[in-house]
């Protein structure tokens, strides 16, 4: 059998390595899951997900899934999987 992914609208923010972006992610996603920011020249975040701690590098997208879970997604996978939607489509 073959299956198609159900269409779903998600929230996502691209991580740019800046602390203000980390603050935006925490505020927008209203997360209580730990997010650790490493600005020591490596510029990555660690996010505690349902599957364990995942690393988000600069350029990765941080996604809030359909059940409120937060996780990183590599830019190429994000581009292959998601497309922007008009505000009118989700209101």
DSSP for the chain, written as a single string = ----PPP---EEEE--S-HHHHHHHHHHHT--S-EEEETTTT-EEEEEETTEEEEEETTPEEEE-TTS-EEEE-HHHHHHH-----HHHH-
Residue 12 falls within a domain, yes or no? Answer: no
pTM as predicted? 0.82
Number of domains the chain contains:
1
Find the domain containing 45 and state its range.
Answer: 17-82
Share of the chain above pLDDT 70, in %: 89
Q: Which has the higher per-residue pLDDT, 36 or 60? A: 60
Residue 70 lies inside a defined structural domain of this protein: yes
pLDDT 10s digits, 37-57: 776 767 888 888 888 999 999
Contact residues for 18 (Cβ-Cβ < 8 A; gap 6+): none
In a domain, residue 9? The reply is: no
Identify whether 7 is part of a domain: no
């Amino acid at each position: 059998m073959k299956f198609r992914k159900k269409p779903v609208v998600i929230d996502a923010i691209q991580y740019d390595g800046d602390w203000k972006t980390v603050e935006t992610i925490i505020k927008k996603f209203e997360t209580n899951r730990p997010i650790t920011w490493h600005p020591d020249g490596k510029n990555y975040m660690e996010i505690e997900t349902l599957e364990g701690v995942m690393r988000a590098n600069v350029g990765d997208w941080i996604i809030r899934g359909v059940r409120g879970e937060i996780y990183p997604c590599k830019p190429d996978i994000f581009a292959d999987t998601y497309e922007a939607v008009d505000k009118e489509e989700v209101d």
